Amino acid sequence: MRMAKAAAASSSLVWFLSVAALIHTRTVLSSTASSRCYSAIYSFGDSIADTGNLYYDTEDISPSTYLVLNPPYGDTFFHFPTGRFSDGRLIIDFLAEQIGVPLLKPYLGIKKGKIKDWNSLEGVNFAVGGATALDMSFFAEKGLYDVLVPTNYSLGVQFDWFMDLLPSICNSSSGCKQVFGSSLFLVGEIGGNDFNYLFYLGRPIEEATTYVPLVINKISWAINKLIDLGAQTLVVPGNFALGCSFVYLRNHSSTDVEDYDEAGCLKSYNNFADYYNNQLLAELNRLRELRPGVNIIYADYYHASLQLYQSPTQFGFTKSILYSCCPLENANNHNPPAKHCGEPGLISCNDPSQFITWDGVHLTEAAYKWVAKGLLKGSFTNPKIGISCDSDI
């Protein structure tokens, strides 16, 4: 069984590599380096920002994660799977397009020599699907590693990757400060999986709350490390509105109508996400005082996504939060679907742009585009990202 899985993964990877170069030609490159808002983007995080790192990790990939290597993932924009957990582009892709840098190359593709056209001064993506903020040793000590966490690519591991690649980006302290001073660092979204995995196991919110300071401390550690290396502008996203997530509505449904808000979201999980975000913002405010002159930006993924759930038709979505595109299912159906997105023979929607939810966990390209627009053009960053790009999304 494992050999078959490995063979399938290898086959998919070979096919992917044969068309991966097409991504570069689809990238918005109209801006010259001198007119860019930032010269590069360096990204850390999980599946919300993974642009292909998991694609290149076929050695010990779990069956459920492997499905992202199959159609219909990627169908909307790239027209083939790229390792992104959506039908098309992610928030990080829209940020790159707006700034005028190529779509971020995944670190593992660079490390394994599969990506040849990488320019070290245009940025790198270290985000990996399934990643956690906390190290695996934390979950192992609690006896949760084998049953809980599918990947070993924590924020600490991703930072180690960044340090390994550092000599390829800059070769002196002053040179690094110059390069990173004109770069945008995206630190997250990371930490969501530390809580998601617990909730998937049915652990109470009270237990997850005790992890909040630990997760935030790890994110703060990474921010300080990056600033020490010369980072001047860092975007740190909070968590999404968990109580509106399709998978939470399906797995944690309640017969008590008082458990839901007017949008049909679960109050308790939204309250938890809101609590976490407030604690994260408090830590960012503390860092701002300690690091004068550094621009630490909070990205409010919570409210940027909540607006979609509360008023879907206003943003062009005809399907409510109770519906998933891939596979096409309703959260009120409490029986788990026979198939999952990426499995052969599943029934998925014809038009993902009508859905907020793509695969039950992640959002569609259309939804991510609205979130990105809210960050770049709206009121969902504190302070403003402060870019002056002329292009629109």
Tell me if residue 359 is catalytic.
yes
DSSP-assigned beta bridge partners for residue 295: 233
DSSP-assigned beta bridge partners for residue 186: 43, 235
One-letter-per-residue 3-state SS of the chain: CHHHHHHHHHHHHHHHHHHHHHHHHCCCCCCCHHHCCCCEEEEECCCCCCCCCHHHCCCCCCHHHHHHHCCCCCCCCCCCCCCCCCCCCCHHHHHHHHHCCCCCCEHHHHHCCCCCCCCHHHEEECCCCCCCCCCHHHHHHCCCHHHHCCCCCCHHHHHHHHHHHHHHHCCCHHHHHHHHHCEEEEECCCCHHHHHHHHHCCCCHHHHHHHHHHHHHHHHHHHHHHHHCCCCEEEEECCCCHHHCHHHHHHCCCCCHHHECCCCCEHHHHHHHHHHHHHHHHHHHHHHHHCCCCEEEEECHHHHHHHHHHCHHHHCCCCCCCEECCCCEECCCCCCCCCCCCCCCCCCCCCHHHCCECCCCCECHHHHHHHHHHHHCCCCEECCCCCCCCCCC
Given 39, 47, 86, 183, the catalytic residue: 47
Which candidate, 108, 280, 272, 103, places its Cα nearest to that of 188?
280
Rounded CA-CA distance 55/202 in Å is: 29
C-beta of residue 284 within 8 angstroms of C-beta of residue 331: no
Tell me if residue 362 is catalytic.
yes
Given 86, 154, 194, 362, the catalytic residue: 362
Question: Whose structure tokens read 């097409």?
Answer: 22
Q: Is 358 exposed, middle or buried (0-12, 13-18, 19+ CB in 10 A)?
A: buried
Residues assigned a catalytic role: 47, 359, 362
